[in-house]
Amino acid sequence: MYKEMEKEKLCHKKAAGAAKEAVTESTAKNTAAKDSVSGKPERIVIALGGNALQSGESGATAEEQLSVVRETCEHIAEISSRGYEIGIVHGNGPQVGRILLASETAKNVTPAMPFDVCGAMSQGYIGYHLQQALRHALDEKKRNVPVVTLTTQMVVDKNDPAFANPTKPIGPFYSREEAEKLEKEKSYTMKEDAGRGYRRVVPSPVPMEIVEIDSVRRLWDSTVTISCGGGGIPVIEKNDGSLEGVAAVIDKDFAAELLAEQVDADVLMILTEVEKVAINYGKPNQEDLTDMTADMAREYESEGQFAPGSMLPKVQAAIKFVSQRPGKKSIITSLDKAIDALEGKTGTTITFS
């Protein structure tokens, strides 16, 4: 009897020790994700690149895109499980281009939708995929955190010079011959995109105001928000105060930067295809950068080190965030290295000084 009692005590002791160890480990993870001054969980705005929504190796069907999104959300759920509060912004270049193409192709059967409406449609279906996949990934990690997608409008200046100089790639890639044909037949503006082929380009005005920012703020403490999808639906404010959609695509990195400012984020994390920002990219003397100050990044920018429409807007958004919020940081890295980058093990970290 005595031996059985001692054995039971030992079992309880081991169980208590294991529970304490688990709590300690969980606390360590959450503590690492807390602001050193306020003690509150660190806030991260995550900007997802196109590779996080659609693989270059797979097709463009809804099923294949959802498969990629599920893998993406495994990484995002892991960030959440470390105790960070997160908000998500995503691009929509390929998706909105296909929606517009489908609408224009079927114009003899049903009226074609205007570009701003196509952008809203892309927010809905990409947000739906992210919302569904992330909710499941969080459930798998026993994280009872709601996920919601907000249709988000972004006010732009109707006199923004971008309207006279389209630069934002959308839709699929075309050969040179196909691009020239589209320019003649549809009056599209076509440009080569980083050596990968030709794509249609549309205006990309600077985001000025997130119309639904109050809703994002109210949800932030309790919910993972997916907002400013595709950079937000671009709208201009009319003289009577009403809003009107315009044909443009706002760069999602600039939209994420504005969101990060307005929710007082600690980190702006821009996820892309490469692990680190590089200078002399693709050359024998390529150099991967572990960290940069805002001034260093501006100097590299002035040297033309970052490709327009590719790494340039990411670096510009990172610079703007840390310049507006000294003491905070921007991180540019790949999706699969996001956790390591948050821990300072890889990626490129940009700070004010």
Q: Which residues are catalytic?
A: 50-51, 168, 252, 314
Contact 78, 141 (CB under 8 A): yes
Bridge-partner residues for 348, per DSSP? Answer: 332
d(CA 26, CA 33): 11
Q: Are strands 147-149 and 224-226 parallel, antiparallel or unpaired?
A: parallel
DSSP 290: S
Helices then strands, each counted (H, E), the chain: 10, 17
CA torsion sign for 58, 60, 66, 68 is positive
CA angle, 64 then 100 then 272, to 5°: 50
Contact 172, 93 (CB under 8 A): no
SS3 109: coil
SS3 94: helix
Please name which of 207, 262, 198 lies closest in space to residue 230, comparing C-alpha atoms.
Answer: 207
Bridge-partner residues for 192, per DSSP? Answer: 198
d(CA 116, CA 301): 31
Q: Are strands 43-48 and 168-174 parallel, antiparallel or unpaired?
A: unpaired
> Rg of the Cα trace of the chain?
23
